Structure 1
Amino acid sequence: MVQASENLQVQPGLMRCPRVTYRMAAPKTALAEPGTLAVFGFGAGSPDSDDPRWLGVALECFDAPAPLELWQVDGEVSCGRHGDVRWSAGGGWLFAAIELNESAVGDTQSATHQAYTQLRQFMSTRDERCVLRIWNYISDINHGDGDAERYKQFCDGRAAGLGDFFAAGFPAATAIGHHHHQPLLQIYLLASVDEGLAIENPRQVSAWRYPRQYGRTSPGFARAMLMPARDALAISGTAAVVGHASAHEGDLEAQLNETLTNLEALLATADMPAGFDTHSPLKAYVRHPVDAPRVRDVLQQRLPGVPVLLVHGDVCRRELLVEIDGWRFA
């Protein structure tokens, strides 16, 4: 675990973290702005674009119309495609994404193995090969029992596809289930020419050390990642987990409070300012749509003014009702 005694002050001379914002705009307008590295739309009503920097995420937003998510960097951006991988790069940063239809590949494990193999092979061609943050969106993540559960199959396929790519340490990550009518596997990442600093939560067992009850292959991710310049913290999907066990089964508000406690523990461990502000965008993934108004109310009370995108998503453990990830900028 990273100790707070390490030098976590903003590091001069390193590239500033991409700016991450939510904005009401047309994709064409956002993509035309200087320095746009990636743009994300959410849900079935999201417009489409053939620009490699665009990704329509298979998660429905509880707010309509849904804003776009923009990543913007300092520098000229180039983009293209490499097999099934779409990518863009600029200012020492790289966005890469892959989307596969499981029905065309075979099953969850096979699709994940293929997707991560392609991503690994693509990353080997790039200078920006320090992967700092990954998002994984999986159809029906909790279907199946025991080792046949789709999330556990995903973990098996991811490990097989990556090989030893993360032998030096895992990036921050999120894995959430979506309800799209097609069994899509969507994976996207942020990478840099410079290394970040992985952060663990002292309240939780590191994910790669989970006991066997959570599957043949432990989840491979860090709880958060400090960006190379130490100017931002990318926070992994965070829920009501203490040690390695889920807490407060069936109690939405208690799970939310525990989740927020975990978020504060991450900020403290990373020597980041306590709390979140208007420049710290978060996502809240809510399992049951009926719970969305209460989640919104609690977050508005506890995190006033913080931009929170509220989406319909299933947490990787069936008993967990809500998960939060996002950014804290210094």
Structure 2
Amino acid sequence: MAATFWAPHLAAINHGSILSMDCSGRVITKSFKRSTGGSEHYIIVEPPADLGLTEQVACLERRYDETRQELGLPAGSAVFRRLFVSDAMNQIPLLRHSRLTADEDGSPVALSLIQQPPLSRTKLSLLAYHVSGAPDLSKCRLTSRHVVVEKNGLAHLWTTGLCPASDDKLVPATQQTRQMFDTLINTLDGLGGTLRNNCVRTWIYVKDVDVFYNDMVTSRRELFLEQGLSAETHFIASTGIEGACAHRFDIVTMDAYSILGLAPQQVSYLNDFDHLCPTKDYNVTFERGTRIAYADRAHLFISGTASIDSAGQVVHPGNVSRQFDRALDNVEALLRAGSAELSTLMHLIVYLRDPTDHPRIKAALSERLPGVPTIIVQGSVCRPEWLVEVEGMAIADNEDPALPGF
């Protein structure tokens, strides 16, 4: 079920020197509810665009709190939050003191902070993921970058903000990519897992993607071969897109999601070769999508998807509206391969190269996916000819009692 809430004027918000403000803003949520395994909730919050940064943070905190109350989400139910910001180097230090980036009552939350300016003209936007109604769920923080969520015999590792954290030295993007993946590999090894068997999804943000994307791809390809990941085995669902963290000399930043304890029969990969070619055809190592099946549901992770055809060519060059339609058609084909459909999307992120395309894409989204929580940010795609890319996550019904429960 999806719902959009619009707030009236709210007064007397106690946030520093702020006494009152109009905290209207955009909030949209979607929940997948089951009596077993718990319910899952995705929340997108955008504050009013006409406020300063401090006021926007205060409004976002307030609207997020209200939304959790409306959904009946208890403290400690938050698993993951991503904040999209317009100026990471200046904004993230302030956000570090916000409740948006804090753990909840000692219950850790995986936090991603990434510079991808929201195109709703706000300085920041929030995507949050919560799990409720699961009494067996527990969380622990391994490091500042790694949170483990244990549930029903599985350990879900959320990794966020992997980067060199360098403000005084520039190292090659190939080396930075290797460093990120080595950190993830070592963490998985400490938990008894491997990159090949347990990593489900990565998000790789590349500063100046038109220049440095190929360096990241080259380094990742070499590392995957070392880890036993190939076209003959499988790759990992991924998005590689323009983005930046708060460190001056960091070119590459990564978030990742891994699951320890997965049974092989739970994992399948999503393709539709009538719509999209295999990624190996243009020497890039990621899966178009990955499906994780549980007894009562399936999670479908859709990688960054653009206007591409079965021959690997850009479709509709120069026309962002038609490229967006083709990208959604490709997503629909991938979901169909996993026994799901567009209506099962829990959230969608849209990346635009040109911010002036925002109004027409916003209108197209309202028409085609009116009930899906969506966020539109500025982020150049790996090929300059691609004007738009989309990614998302879907949850669909699945009836297979032989599989582990979520």
Deviation, structure 1 residue 227: 1.8
Per the alignment, do residues 165 and 96 of structure 1 end up closer, same or farther by CA in structure 2, a change over 3 Å counting?
A: farther
Deviation, structure 1 residue 233: 1.1
Hey, what does 2:404 align to over in structure 1?
none
Deviation, structure 1 residue 17: 9.0
Name the % identity.
21
Deviation, structure 1 residue 95: 0.3
What are the equivalent positions in structure 2 for 1:188-199 lying under 5 Å apart? 188-192=255-259, 193-194=261-262, 195-199=266-270
Deviations 1:152-171 (A, max 9, x none): 10011123344225354212
Deviation, structure 1 residue 297: 1.0
What are the equivalent positions in structure 2 for 1:96-107 lying under 5 Å apart? 96-97=159-160, 98-101=162-165, 104=169, 106-107=171-172
Deviations 1:225-269 (A, max 9, x none): 112315221111010010211111111111111111111111211
In structure 1, runs of 5+ residues without a counterpart are: 1-11, 144-149, 211-217
Per the alignment, do residues 124 and 225 of structure 1 end up closer, same or farther by CA in structure 2, a change over 3 Å counting?
A: same
Of 59, 76, 80, the match for 1:34: 76
Per the alignment, do residues 17 and 246 of structure 1 end up closer, same or farther by CA in structure 2, a change over 3 Å counting?
A: farther
Whether 2:110 is the aligned partner of 1:53: answer yes
* DSSP 3-state at the match of 1:246: coil
Deviation, structure 1 residue 42: 1.1
Distance in 1, matches of 2:347 and 2:249, equals: 28
Per the alignment, do residues 20 and 172 of structure 1 end up closer, same or farther by CA in structure 2, a change over 3 Å counting?
A: farther
Hey, what does 1:319 align to over in structure 2?
385
Hey, what does 1:22 align to over in structure 2?
44
Whether 2:227 is the aligned partner of 1:159: answer no
Distance in 2, matches of 1:62 and 1:183, equals: 25
Deviation, structure 1 residue 126: 1.7
* DSSP 3-state at the match of 1:104: coil
Distance in 2, matches of 1:250 and 1:298, equals: 17
Distance in 1, matches of 2:383 and 2:354, equals: 14
Distance in 2, matches of 1:62 and 1:231, equals: 31
Which is further off, 201-210 or 85-94? Answer: 85-94
Hey, what does 2:237 align to over in structure 1?
172
Deviations 1:16-67 (A, max 9, x none): 7964432465399689832322221111346224767222112111222644
Please, what is the CA RMSD of the aligned residues? 2.9
Distance in 1, matches of 2:244 and 2:77, equals: 32
Deviations 1:68-121 (A, max 9, x none): 222334411111218xx4333332211012122476351111111111122112
Whether 2:148 is the aligned partner of 1:88: answer yes
Per the alignment, do residues 221 and 20 of structure 1 end up closer, same or farther by CA in structure 2, a change over 3 Å counting?
A: farther
Per the alignment, do residues 37 and 221 of structure 1 end up closer, same or farther by CA in structure 2, a change over 3 Å counting?
A: same
Distance in 1, matches of 2:335 and 2:61, equals: 34
Distance in 1, matches of 2:40 and 2:163, equals: 23
Point out the structure with max Rg over C-alpha.
Answer: 2
Per the alignment, do residues 105 and 115 of structure 1 end up closer, same or farther by CA in structure 2, a change over 3 Å counting?
A: farther
Distance in 2, matches of 1:264 and 1:320, equals: 19
Give the partner amino acid of 1:96: T
Hey, what does 2:17 align to over in structure 1?
none
* DSSP 3-state at the match of 2:164: strand
Hey, what does 2:318 align to over in structure 1?
250
Per the alignment, do residues 323 and 123 of structure 1 end up closer, same or farther by CA in structure 2, a change over 3 Å counting?
A: same
Hey, what does 2:185 align to over in structure 1?
120
TM (normalized to structure 1)? 0.81
Deviations 1:204-236 (A, max 9, x none): 1111232xxxxxxx2211111112315221111
Deviation, structure 1 residue 289: 0.8
Hey, what does 1:69 align to over in structure 2?
127
Deviation, structure 1 residue 281: 0.6
Whether 2:265 is the aligned partner of 1:200: answer no
**Structure of higher RCO (CA pairs closer than 8 Å, 6+ residues apart):** 1
Distance in 2, matches of 1:86 and 1:231, equals: 24
TM (normalized to structure 2)? 0.67
Whether 2:343 is the aligned partner of 1:276: answer yes
CA contact (8 A) 1:197 1:225 kept: yes
